[in-house]
Chain A
């Protein structure tokens, strides 16, 4: 009797040990499998991403202004004519803001990973007015706080976006005089150094 009880106890212990060993083996195998071949995903902070994009945009626009418009335009060698209607002129070339927009259009043809646009609360072309609440809020913020950027999030069409708005400044008399004298401009008293509009960069955070 005692022997059979002990044997039953021993069998139970053996069963428990086997089950424990199996469980340990399964867990160890699962850990190995999950550790193999899978790379840890590292992302970039959205603010750093949009700030970096804007740094490139700023640099390109500055270089275009300095090396093409100023150097080759009427104030320099006078071999090109930067003009709003550059396409109608034999030696016409884009204004810096138009060059900027051309870049935005080219990017939009290439990728959906980000978009950018030049917008204003006082656009000559109404298509360039802000449309979303974040765009409006951003343009108001940068106009009221010269030297600062605006960052926000918005959900459009089921996708959440990180939206950054950077100031576009009247850096020369050419900016202020053209806008102030333009028949379609809703604001005609821009001053040098004033924020005229903003660059809106939008990055999707989730997929739709």
Chain B
């Protein structure tokens, strides 16, 4: 009886922690989307100056393969025709990463 109770409590704790993780992830993506909309969408929604279009696997896949640290460096320092931080020097590395993760989340899996 006690073992069953302990098992139920463990399962409840596990479910709660999993839902907390997904809530946190949703919140991070929402923050990333806000940063993207305010700073990156103007080029990345349209492919202006060769910017990889959000959701376009053909343009993003080889970039995604390079990993977040490389993409973050490109966004932070500027890359090709992209100005550093998309032109907004106030953006922090943490904010850039949120925006990058949001853009990557839009790729079809």
Contacts and interface: CB of A to CB of B under 8 A. Distances in A.
A193 B81 contact: no
Interface residues of A, number: 23
Contacts of A172: 81, 83
Contacts of B49: 62, 65, 169, 171
Interface string B6-46: 00000000000000000000000000000001010111111
Given A193-B39, A193-B88, A147 B46 contact: yes
Contact of A171 (B37, B39, B43): B43
A58 B52 CA distance: 13
B42 A167 contact: yes
Contacts of A70: 81
A192 interface: yes
A171 B48 contact: yes
B50 A62 contact: yes
A186 interface: no
Interface of B: 37, 39, 41-50, 80-81, 83, 86-88
